[in-house]
Amino acid sequence: MSALDKYIVTEHDVLIIGAGGAGLRAAVESSAHGVRTAVICKSLLGKAHTVMAEGGMAAAMGNVDDRDSWEVHFADTMRGGGYLNNPVMAEHHAREAPSRVRELESWGAVFDRTKDGKILQRNFGGHRYPRLAHVGDRTGLEMIRTLQDHGIHQGLDVYMEMTVAALLTSGGRVVGAYGYDRERGRMRVWRAGAVVLATGGIGKAFRITSNSWEYTGDGQALAYEVGAELQDMEFVQFHPTGMVWPPSVRGILVTEGVRGEGGVLRNSEGRRFMFDDIPELYRNQVAKDEDEGWRYVTGDKHAQRPPELLTRDHVARCINREIKAGRGSPHGGVFLDIGWIKERMPNAREHIKKKLPSMYHQFMQLAGVDITTEAMEVGPTTHYVMGGIRVDGNTQMSNVPGLFAAGEVAAGLHGANRLGGNSLSDLLVFGQRAGEHAAKFAKSNPAADVDVAQLERETARALEPFDRPNGENPYTIQHDLQDVMQDLVGIVRTQSEMEQALDRIGGLNARSEKSGVVGHREFNPGWHTAIDLRNLLTVSEAVTRSALDRKESRGAQFRDDFPTKSDECSTFNTVISKGGDGAMKLERRPISKMRPELTAIVEKNK
């Protein structure tokens, strides 16, 4: 009997972990390169987090404002990212996004149109011109539907409702993955020449989040365990507008599209408080009054954008300030009002229902609020992680040979903060690149034998919680972790609170090692939580250590004890890796230099 007999073993050239936009786009590309490609996902195919994306994908097509260009998109992305972005990635992204969007259309995606039949583009925070190609407020759904259809017809192998619990390495490279099916708990081994991680973000490390249950930082933690570097983990984006009421839906996203269509933020005194604090950097781009802001929303090229469309970190902090000052809404948020546009638009009700159908239903069904006539109550929610696996900007390969990453799990494109709409285009641009380069790598590096000793260790580790039926419930530990991250490493950070957080995470790690589950491996959500928890603890520690080291406020990180940007901190990216002693190691790595032509583009578009 072979040591592998107790596992279900399959072999592929390229194995893609994650079936969201990045994973599916990588799969389409890899399979187009003629290699055997498989995709694994925790839930059913088509149910990835990407499906929730509402507002649209950013691409400088210039369909609504012909002054737009890849150069302006590049400059906007770099400015939004506090100039910590990898400029190679920001350039590829800005140049290639329009082709990737048109390609998606040619595969069947049906975008909203301009009157003359072009793909319609809407305004979004931080983008100089209307740039987001969209399908009402269901853009992610259309994207996944299209990629899924296209991919399936190319003959992908799909493994649904399976969790990858470890990456397998041999001879210094990644040779596959180990995991289990969630339904039956059977152990599986996927052998592969190259692996692409496309597992998304880490939102479930926080108590209030727009993210789904799948976002437990798996890809970041799996990569870290086999020696990959994690970059800029301190930069976690808090979206300014999540639902705050009722409690069961707290955190669910209210798309920026609401503000793009004219929604305004008011405090309990009815004042548009976003006019109170406009950062110097944006002063010449922001409307002076309500009228100018409205003209911008309705497409006047010469008007400036309303202050509600400033970058997410800034809007989130302004909302936080109003709530803390006692000028919040009854349930601890502020008011977001789109219904007011009826004063300026005769068919406002139909317009809102047509442009924001999901938002209309979400509020009607979950909160009993008709957004065409009543204001929504909203507050900040953990939304996106800019940090992730450090990759080569051209190939998406990490420092571990054969291990690639794309989408939210990877770092580099967004620097210190992501502009809305830049994620969906990121998935297409870098999913394509990751798929292409993984396929090329696999062609010259066929699947190798797995290390049986490593496999046995991973199996023992995965099943350990069953040995402690009286151990603490992993759910309790996960909840405590979410409280720690929310309260001590949230929107406003300080040294002393983050030191407390590190201490508490250490304690939670110790508790997690003693946590236990009862029952057997079939349909056992407690066991799944125990495995996810290890990943959440790893990424939480990485976020906290990186945030502590960055003694400044930049992009999504706001430090109360260092409230401004520092010149010293503008020179490095934070890099986390696993040290030889098993402890987390932090380094400061110099940021990538921009080519002189790119520097000139940034200067010109400041």
| Residue 18 in the binding site for ligand FAD (CB under 6 A) | yes
| Residue 211 in the binding site for ligand FAD (CB under 6 A) | yes
Residue 148 CB, shortest distance to ligand FAD, in Å, is 11
Report the relative pairing of strands 558-559 and 132-133 from DSSP bridges. unpaired
Check if the beta carbon of residue 132 is closer than 8 Å to that of residue 58: yes
Report the relative pairing of strands 8-17 and 187-197 from DSSP bridges. parallel
Provide the phi-psi class of 432: left if phi over 0, else alpha when psi is between -120 and 50, else beta. alpha
Q: Given the structure tokens 């609170």, which residue do they identify?
A: 497
The footprint of ligand FAD on this chain (CB under 6 A) covers a number of residues equal to 42
246: preceding bond cis by omega (within 30 degrees): yes
Check if the beta carbon of residue 131 is closer than 8 Å to that of residue 68: yes
The 163-192 contact track toward ligand FAD, x by CB under 6 A, reads xx----------------------------
For 601, residues 6+ apart whose C-beta sits below 8 A from its C-beta are: 71, 74, 75
| Cα 163 to Cα 541: distance, rounded to the nearest angstrom | 22
**Minimum CB distance to ligand FAD smaller for 511 or for 534:** 534
**Which part of the chain contacts ligand FAD (CB under 6 A), choosing from 7-15, 37-45, 93-101, 286-294?**
37-45
**Minimum CB distance to ligand FAD smaller for 392 or for 549:** 392
| Residue 21 in the binding site for ligand FAD (CB under 6 A) | yes
Residue 411 CB, shortest distance to ligand FAD, in Å, is 12
The DSSP element (H or E) to which 347 belongs, if any, is none
The 241-270 contact track toward ligand FAD, x by CB under 6 A, reads ------------x-----------------
| Cα 181 to Cα 196: distance, rounded to the nearest angstrom | 19
| Residue 23 in the binding site for ligand FAD (CB under 6 A) | yes
| Cα 139 to Cα 437: distance, rounded to the nearest angstrom | 27
Q: In Å, how far from its chain's centre is CA 251?
A: 15
Residue 259 CB, shortest distance to ligand FAD, in Å, is 12
Give ∠ CA 172-177-182 in degrees, rounded to 5: 160
Binding to ligand FAD (CB under 6 A): which residues in 133-162? 139-140
Give the one residue of 14, 15, 17, 205 binding ligand FAD; rule: CB under 6 A: 17
Give the one residue of 13, 54, 337, 458 binding ligand FAD; rule: CB under 6 A: 54
Binding to ligand FAD (CB under 6 A): which residues in 581-600? none
**Which part of the chain contacts ligand FAD (CB under 6 A), choosing from 50-58, 64-72, 271-279, 469-477?**
50-58
Report the relative pairing of strands 334-337 and 236-243 from DSSP bridges. unpaired
- Count of alpha carbons within 13 Å of 579, Cβ hemisphere only? 7
Residue nearest to ligand FAD according to CB distances in the complex: 20
| Residue 576 in the binding site for ligand FAD (CB under 6 A) | no
Binding to ligand FAD (CB under 6 A): which residues in 504-563? none
Q: Residue 263: name the closest of 201, 307, 302 by CA.
A: 307
Check if the beta carbon of residue 54 is closer than 8 Å to that of residue 70: no
| Residue 200 in the binding site for ligand FAD (CB under 6 A) | yes
Residue 277 CB, shortest distance to ligand FAD, in Å, is 25
Helices (H), 226-372: 257-260, 290-297, 312-324, 348-355, 357-367
Known catalytic membership, residue 259: yes
- Backbone φ and ψ for 525, nearest 5 degrees, come out as -65, -25
**Minimum CB distance to ligand FAD smaller for 72 or for 594:** 72
Q: Given the structure tokens 């498989």, which residue do they identify?
A: 38
Annotated active-site residue in 259, 317, 437, 528: 259
Known catalytic membership, residue 588: no
Annotated active-site residue in 239, 317, 414, 550: 239
- Backbone φ and ψ for 141, nearest 5 degrees, come out as -60, -45
Residue 529 CB, shortest distance to ligand FAD, in Å, is 13
Residue 427 CB, shortest distance to ligand FAD, in Å, is 5
Binding to ligand FAD (CB under 6 A): which residues in 335-394? 384
Check if the beta carbon of residue 331 is closer than 8 Å to that of residue 113: no
Binding to ligand FAD (CB under 6 A): which residues in 394-413? 407-409
Residue 418 CB, shortest distance to ligand FAD, in Å, is 8
- Count of alpha carbons within 13 Å of 180, Cβ hemisphere only? 24
| Residue 218 in the binding site for ligand FAD (CB under 6 A) | yes
**Which part of the chain contacts ligand FAD (CB under 6 A), choosing from 34-42, 68-76, 102-110, 327-335?**
34-42
| Cα 294 to Cα 300: distance, rounded to the nearest angstrom | 9
| Residue 119 in the binding site for ligand FAD (CB under 6 A) | no
Give the one residue of 14, 15, 35, 53 binding ligand FAD; rule: CB under 6 A: 53
Residue 597 CB, shortest distance to ligand FAD, in Å, is 27
Report the relative pairing of strands 162-170 and 173-181 from DSSP bridges. antiparallel
The residue ranges that bind ligand FAD (CB under 6 A) are 17-23, 40-43, 48-50, 52-57, 139-140, 163-164, 198-200, 210-211, 214, 218, 253, 384, 407-409, 420-424, 427
Q: Point out the residues that are catalytic.
A: 239, 259
